[in-house]
Amino acid sequence: MSSTNESSSSSEKKPTVIICIGMAGSGKTSFIQRVNSYIHSNGKNGYLLNLDPAVSQVPFGANIDIRDTVNYKQVMKEYNLGPNGGILTSLNLFTTKFDQVLDFIEKRSKDVDYILLDTPGQIEIFTWSASGAIITDTLAASYPTVVAYIIDTPRSTSPATFMSNMLYACSILYKTKLPFVIVFNKTDVVSHDFAVEWMTDYESFQNALQDNTTYMGSLVNSMCLMLEEFYNSLKVSGVSAVTGEGMDEFFETLKESVHEYETEYKPELERMIKAKVIKKKKYLVLNR
């Protein structure tokens, strides 16, 4: 009887976690609002987490809000910190209680289809901090998890800015090692076709740089050649958080990413956990 229950629970569909990362001004929070609206319009349920302690207001009703637990301005005052230090310390304090957050999520998981995380606009604070890694790894160990990297498309029409975004994307992908989707936002202002062309056609990117004879132009050009293999492994989606354009395509890409999680990430995670358990058993045996 118990084995039957275990098999049914293991095959039980789990909600998909979407970790939204993006620079300040990329429209990340507006994107989450649009995604949440799309989810509900399709008869699905979303569970929203705001992890930005410095934001004054969010345009969606967050189920869990870091600001309810940590007072960002008080943290800055108490620990004599600047803005970035205040955000990082607030996130660290929140992470000490993340087991409670997991309990809340687990209780709702049967009724939820998507879990959306809004992260601070200061990318490095979440992606390169211990607290950001703990939150990401903990969620990825329990649920299919995808990283959505939001890019401000109009601001990326400059080759140098575009390359800066790609390098950020590369570092985040290799840090999280999770299925990764680059989301070109604000396509209602500028189409993302130029970006897709630059990622798939090296000569096209070279042509965009031909008038730039500075050292920066030469550096960006050489970087593009190095990132060609990285581009081949990326999933790209163009959306408008304002109009909702591209949402169908984004969720198709998301579905592919969840499949990638199930076939590539999850088996590797289970292998690592198993190896850690074996190592711990050997240690206990040797130290008896």
Supply the pLDDT for residue 3. 43
Tell me what the mean pLDDT of segment 161-178 comes to. 91
Helices (H) and strands (E) in the chain, counts: 14, 7
CA separation for the pair 229, 234 (Å, rounded): 9
| Domain membership of residue 84 as a residue range | 16-282
Higher pLDDT, 13 or 138: 138
Pair of tokens at residue 132: 């950001």
In a domain, 77, yes or no: yes
List the CATH number of the domain containing 130: 3.40.50.300
C-beta atoms surrounding 85 within 10 Å:
14
Decide if 2 is inside a domain.
no
Lowest mean pLDDT among 91-105, 221-235, 249-263: 221-235
* Cβ(145)–Cβ(180) below 8 Å: no
In a domain, 119, yes or no: yes
> How buried is 133 (Cβ within 10 angstroms: 0-12 exposed, 13-18 middle, 19+ buried)?
middle
Per-residue pLDDT, 40:
96
Rounded-to-integer distance, Cα 227 and Cα 71, Å = 41
Quick one: pLDDT band at residue 9, thresholds 50, 70, 90?
A: very low
Task: Give pTM, 2 decimals.
Answer: 0.89
Q: Would you say residue 5 lies in a domain?
A: no
Domain membership of residue 138 (yes or no) is yes
pLDDT digits (tens, 9 = 90+) for 41-51: 999 999 999 99
- Rounded Cα–Cα distance for residues 271 and 269 (Å): 5
On whether residue 8 sits in a domain, the answer given is: no
How many structural domains comprise the chain?
1
Q: Give the pLDDT confidence score for residue 117 in this predicted structure.
A: 97
pLDDT average, residue stretch 137-159: 95
Say whether pLDDT at 10 is over 80. Answer: no
Please say if the pLDDT value at position 217 is more than 50: yes
Q: b vs e for 218-256, b when ≥16 Cβ sit within 10 Å of the residue's Cβ?
A: eebbeebeebeeebeebbbbbbbbeeeebbeebbebbee
In a domain, 100, yes or no: yes
Within-domain flag for 4: no
